[in-house]
Structure 1
């Protein structure tokens, strides 16, 4: 549930109806307009003159939305005027709701003036417990707007479960928990603020952790749909993974000033000694700050799941926690690949591992169906349980091998090249088939197909696309390889400087630079010829399904590696030859030649190495889990 999905703002029809009703009771808009405009402009002198002339205006509704002068000042962010108005009105006026359903503190909560909030609470300390028409407190508005961290902390520590709204025990607490949990992870700057406030409130009011509805635990339900808030839901490159593991993950942010002193630091995470250093690094490197924010969010998410499950496990009612961690939560976490939720839930409630989702099967079958390798690997770490779950059949008599045989196009969007999508599908199928019982290879489902027959049928189109992609790639690369062969072969026959007319030896033969040229040309010729042969072998392959598992990807990898080597040695040979010809006139000519020769090599590397690296990882270091 998001804040927008449960918007507290009234519909336009309701607002218009309330406005019309208010005006029908004799509201004179034009009379109060000067006061309204003076407050919005921050003109205290004009507003004070109007109020002195008509003392009833201090407590009157002065807009068509039934807003008092206090409301108008809060909506217009005129905090100084609001503080002055507070001293001239009775305390009960501060609890007045406008046609939108808000008190003036609701508006102040979305701003940045703690002094205004303090002035209101000093006059009427129960304002934090007053809810709007949808049951939302000012605290919730402050947290979801993330405009001012001090404001959110101030309201969190001054909102109690008392009259008139009982925000932490009434029916509205369900919405509060859902929106607070969802909002606790929004934003790049202040998500940790909401994270800490969420944990602070859960520790202060333990009942919030175990609030559930028809879908089970509200907190777990929200978290099970937020894949990016867990480490298992993120895929980083090698460099980002290294940075991710190095950055600290302590939630060390505290409220500042007098708020810090009033906060119970015994329940807060201790700050780390190098915080100033990391703050300096984050300021100079935004990418590192982003990774740290991601890590903090993920650490908090995991701690929140542990806290919720810990609170639920203390409940003596077995039926409660069975419905608390519902099938929907298990299904969402499994199909989304959130291993952390499953691991913690199974730690506190071991029997949940046997959860069977109607029309989906056990968690092992769901993980296979949705290609969630990390979840599948987690299950395989439980050897006995995994064997039982993998051997299970679904309602259509499909084995786990049948499920792995089905095509999963949506899970292959991040894989480059149709051939490597086919390879990924084969790797997944072979790994599941290896763990499945051997007799299941021959079992037919209700459609009369074995797992391998189903695989071939499901991937018929992908096989055709893979063959076309592989041939197109091999054709393009073979043209480049043939061009290099022609170029370097010609260079051998027409060496720079020419040959000695009497003996036929190259004139620059004694020169070391010429030896570099000769060696580079030789290596370029041999590597380009080998590359050409590798690409020709791809073009003449039979293109069966199993060829895409190892044979064809290996040929393509070796062909590209040899082609890149041929390009490098060709450029070295060119630079050496040009240096031999021009150095007698310009001795420093080799410097710009070397720099320019690096340009095509760097360009080729930048454009092709990511794909090339992905090919190597996919072929030689499969990400499929190996138990």
Structure 2
């Protein structure tokens, strides 16, 4: 059985004498560890030989930058200092190259991000680092005869299961909410405010409020059903590691987007129908009153949606991830 690479990749200086590991590193390694690309570039321009610096665990700038997921530093090194090929081939005391380090999962790094999205971030960063290192590094093995992909699979096994559980629970909750909205909007979309005429035509069909009610209730029904189907699909699928780079976040994005639209449309349809209850008494004052009721709920929902999911989903669309591997 393979030893846990998590222990192999642990920086031995982290606990040495209880001091900060930066104490035992050169300025270049400290800059790489913290992702300060400007300092890395300046130091290497002034002193190119600094690229050979290593820490007590024999980790050079490439291994440290990859270990701390500083792929912007790796990209800089590959673009401007690719002539220093010997540094790209460097390994630490355990035989780990830069991609081995990038494959390592460090618990607690992504505080505040849900488990399911942590797997997404880890996958995206691993793929980004993979594109920033020479191709021959992909096939390198460490002292345990493990390739970077095997290290990634091994150290992310528990997170993968946790992510699947999180996805299932979240999708079940959201599909239940979408189902409730669909039930409500189905009942309201078939109701006709104000009744019908002798010719079975809506009495209020030429009123703006009725048009808003009819259109928004149909939109709410369509989007809520779509959202329920998407979340049920997510909940009933067994997602593999590669799915978390693009497939899972795109489905989550689409599911939450349709759910949000259905909630907003439901509120609008309610206001469109309810305006006939207060509209005759408040007249034009009823419209801003309904806006004040709907606006806080809409803003809160949009803020939570954007904070938790939208930014990560958009980041996935912007990054070109290789799905072939």
Aligning the two structures, in what range does the TM-score lie when normalised by the shorter sequence? 0.7 to 0.9
Instruction: Please give the alpha-carbon distance, in whole angstroms, between the structure 2 residues aligned to 1:458 and 1:614.
Output: 26
Aligned counterpart in structure 2 of residue 497 of structure 1, from 181, 191, 194: 194
Matched residue of 2:194: which SS?
coil
Q: Partners of 1:339 and 1:425 in 2: how far apart?
A: 21
CA distance in 2, matches of 1:525, 1:382: 54
Q: Would you say 1:562 and 2:258 are equivalent positions?
A: yes
The residue number in structure 2 matching 1:516 is: 212
Change in Cα spacing, 1:433 to 1:603, as seen in structure 2 (3 Å) is closer
Q: Report the Cα distance in structure 2 between the residues aligned to 1:439 and 1:347, rounded to whole angstroms.
A: 26
Asked whether 1:465 is paired with 2:162, we answer yes
Say if 2:256 and 2:305, in contact at 8 Å, map to a contact too: no
1:424 is matched with: 121
Q: Is the 8 A contact 1:333 1:339 kept in 2?
A: yes
Quote the Cα distance in structure 2 between the aligned partners of 1:601 and 1:435.
41
What residue number does 1:535 align with?
A: 231
How far apart, CA to CA, are the structure 2 residues paired with 1:358 and 1:595? 62
Measure how far apart 1:429 and its partner are. 1.7
Map 1:156-195 onto structure 2 (within 5 A). none
Q: CA deviation at 1:328?
A: 3.2
Aligned to 2:268: 572
Which residue of 179, 182, 194 maps to 1:485?
182
Task: State the alpha-carbon separation in 2 of the partners of residues 592 and 412 from structure 1.
Answer: 42
Asked if the contact 1:365/1:403 (under 8 Å) is kept, the reply is yes
Q: Relative to 1, partners in 2 of residues 1:575 and 1:386: Cα closer, same or farther, differing over 3 Å?
A: farther
Relative to 1, partners in 2 of residues 1:536 and 1:435: Cα closer, same or farther, differing over 3 Å? same
Contact 2:26 2:53 in 1 (8 A): no
Contact 2:71–2:128 under 8 Å retained in 1? no
Q: 1:404 aligns with which of 99, 102, 114?
A: 102
TM-score, length-scaled by structure 1: 0.45
| Corresponding residue for residue 230 of structure 1 | none
Corresponding residue SS for 1:584 = helix
Structure 2, unaligned runs of 5 or more: 1-19
1:410 deviates by 4.1
Q: Which digits, 9 at most, give the CA deviation of each residue in 1:262-307, with x for residues without a partner?
A: xxxxxxxxxxxxxxxxxxxxxxxxxxxxxxxxxxxxxxxxxxxxxx
Query: What is the distance in 2 between the residues matched to 1:384 and 1:484?
Result: 56
Return closer, same or farther for 1:622/1:418 CA change in 2, 3 Å cut-off: farther
1:582 paired residue number: 278
Alignment of 1:347 with 2:38, yes or no, is: no
Separation in structure 1 between the aligned mates of residue 125 and residue 286 of structure 2, nearest angstrom: 55
Deviations 1:404-438 (A, max 9, x none): 1111234322x511122111111222223334444
Question: Paired residue for 1:364?
Answer: 62
Inter-partner Cα distance in structure 2 for 1:623 and 1:341: 27
User: What CA deviation, in whole Å up to 9, does each residue of 1:370-422 have, x standing for no partner?
Assistant: 22233223322325246543333333332322221111234322x51112211
Give the alignment's TM-score, normalised by structure 2: 0.83
Aligned partners of 2:254 and 2:86: how far apart in 1?
Answer: 41
**Aligned residue in 2 for 1:474:** 171
Query: What's the counterpart of residue 73 of structure 2?
Result: 375
Tell me which residue corresponds to 1:620.
317
Corresponding position of 1:598: 295
After TM superposition, the structure 1 = structure 2 runs for residues 312-351 of structure 1, keeping only pairs within 5 Å, are 327-351=25-49
Q: Deviations over 1:209-263 (max 9, x none)?
A: xxxxxxxxxxxxx9x78xxxxxxxxxxxxxxxxxxxxxxxxxxxxxxxxxxxxxx
CA RMSD in angstroms, aligned pairs only:
2.5
What whole-Å deviation, never above 9, does each CA across 1:129-151 have from its counterpart, x for those lacking one?
xxxxxxxxxxxxxxxxxxxxxxx
In the TM superposition, residue 513 of structure 1 has moved relative to its aligned partner by: 2.0
Tell me if the contact between 2:164 and 2:239 (Cα under 8 Å) persists in the aligned partners: yes
Q: Which of residues 221, 232, 247 in structure 2 aligns to 1:551?
A: 247
Alignment size in residue pairs: 300
Secondary structure of the residue aligned to 2:26 is helix
Whether contact under 8 Å (1:471, 1:539) holds in the other structure is yes
Query: Is the alpha carbon distance of 1:332 and 1:495 closer, same or farther for their aligned partners in structure 2, counting shifts above 3 Å?
Result: same
Distance 1:511-1:426 versus aligned 2 partners, 3 A rule: same
Tell me which structure has the larger Cα radius of gyration.
Answer: 1
Write the distance in 2 (CA, Å) between the matches of 1:463 and 1:430: 16
Give, in angstroms, the shift of residue 495 of structure 1. Answer: 2.0
8 Å CA contact retained: 1:496, 1:581: no
1:563 deviates by 0.9
Where do residues 175-324 of structure 1 align in structure 2 (5 Å cutoff)? none
SS of the residue corresponding to residue 583 of structure 1 reads helix
Given that 1:538 and 1:555 are in contact with CA atoms closer than 8 Å, whether structure 2 keeps it comes out as yes
